[in-house]
Amino acid sequence: MPYLAKYSPIYNIDGEVIGMTCVGTPKSPFTALLNSVIQKIFFIAFSSLIIAVFVAVILNKKIVDSIKKLKNSAESFGRGNYDERASIDTGDELEELAESFNKMADEIGKSDKKLKSDAHTLKTSFDELKEVDNLKSEILSIVSHELRTPLTAILGYVELLKDETAGKLSEKQKEFISVISENSDRLKRITDNMSDLVTVDNKILDIKRDRINLKKEVNDILRSFDYFAESKNIVLLEDVDNLDIKGDKSKIHQVLSNLIENAIKFSKKQTKVTVMGFEDKGNIHLEITDQGPGIPKEHLGKIFDKFYQIDSSSKREVGGSGLGLAVCKKIVESHGGSIWVESKIGKGTTVHVMFPLIK
């Protein structure tokens, strides 16, 4: 049987070894104790490992499930379900993340409801404006049609009076007839604008394509406004290069007449109205410049809108329908061109018109 033993020498008085003492005990009890301790340590370690794995699996499942919940809520929210909220009760950062997501969802939900409400209001307003616009177009169509017949008769009889078909006219009578003729022509242009506006709004503007010499066209129009300009002591100046465009002669005439008439109408007395035309990067660039009161900056972006008028004393004195520039813009754009305005208060206004150049 194995023993655990301890030996120790016995010395005499002279320091000589005279014997040996031996103490021993069987080894088996200690071996059994050691094996028992090892077994217990192994059991505790193995149990701890099993418990740790079990706890890890449970915690991992809880985390994974929470992440899946948050992911599903985010996907549902992303599909437009703005009432979706994440419900996570983990007491850790995941719960804080879910709360942040829910707060974000609340804000987006509120914004979405407001956006839908605003969109509904906007659509309602748009429908109402469209209805009003259609009504205006219908009224314009009726008015222009009803005015055209009597106006044609007036213009015809004015021409007969001018030709003195009904008898000799005095100078005073000729002056009165000129005023009647001028205002009748103005009224005709207004009715034409009404008719054209209805036409372009319905996208049925018939554009003919003729070769037009702009220099000749501008000079013809300026001559037709000589009397109007002289009545205000306004000098008409022309500096247009000999350039051609392709377009509808009557429509181009209408645009230029309207712009030149406006320039004279809004110019101060004893000033100048200048019409310039030159080639500019493959286009014809026209500039009609007056020395009127100018247009405030906040109105420049709106003056081509239908019925828009600048409500100031200087503008209202000369009147206007608010249709001319809207029609001009439609006609110019239908010819592939562009139109815009530059103005300085107290110095005057320049209208720019661009047409494609043909050679």
What are the pLDDT digits (tens) for 25-79? 777 777 777 788 888 888 888 888 888 888 777 766 777 777 777 777 777 777 7
Average pLDDT over residues 275-293: 93
Q: What is the pTM of this model?
A: 0.53
Of 105-109, 213-217, 352-356, the least confident:
105-109
Q: Taking the CA atoms of the chain, what radius of gyration do you get in angstroms?
A: 49
Q: Quick check: 152 pLDDT over 70?
A: yes
Residues 6+ apart with CB under 8 A from 356: 245, 246, 282, 283, 284, 335, 336, 337
- Residue scoring higher pLDDT (77 or 334): 334
Predicted confidence at residue 316, as pLDDT, reads 42
Q: What value does the mean pLDDT of the chain take? A: 82
Predicted confidence at residue 314, as pLDDT, reads 44
Predicted confidence at residue 313, as pLDDT, reads 46
Phi-psi region of 307 (alpha: psi -120 to 50; beta: other; left: phi over 0): left
Average pLDDT over residues 171-192: 81
| Local confidence band at 315 (pLDDT 50, 70, 90 cut-offs) | very low
Q: Is the dihedral of CA 198, 201, 205, 211 positive or negative?
A: positive
Q: Quick check: 233 pLDDT over 90?
A: yes
- The partner residues of 306 in beta bridges, in order of sequence, read none
d(CA 119, CA 117): 5
Average pLDDT over residues 92-98: 76
Residues 6+ apart with CB under 8 A from 56: none
Query: CATH second-level architecture of 207-356?
Result: 2-Layer Sandwich (3.30)
SS3 state of residue 46: helix
Predicted confidence at residue 77, as pLDDT, reads 74
Q: What are the domain boundaries of the chain? A: 3-78, 207-356
Supply the DSSP string of 131-143, one letter for each residue.
Answer: HHHHHHHHHHHHH
Q: Quick check: 307 pLDDT over 70?
A: no
What whole-number percentage of the chain has pLDDT above 90? 21
Predicted confidence at residue 214, as pLDDT, reads 92
Predicted confidence at residue 206, as pLDDT, reads 62
Average pLDDT over residues 335-352: 93
- The partner residues of 341 in beta bridges, in order of sequence, read 351
Of 61-70, 110-119, 201-210, 307-316, the least confident:
307-316
d(CA 349, CA 336): 24
| Local confidence band at 289 (pLDDT 50, 70, 90 cut-offs) | very high
| Tokens linked to 92 | 């850790």
Closest Cα partner for 189 from 320, 341, 20, 351? 320
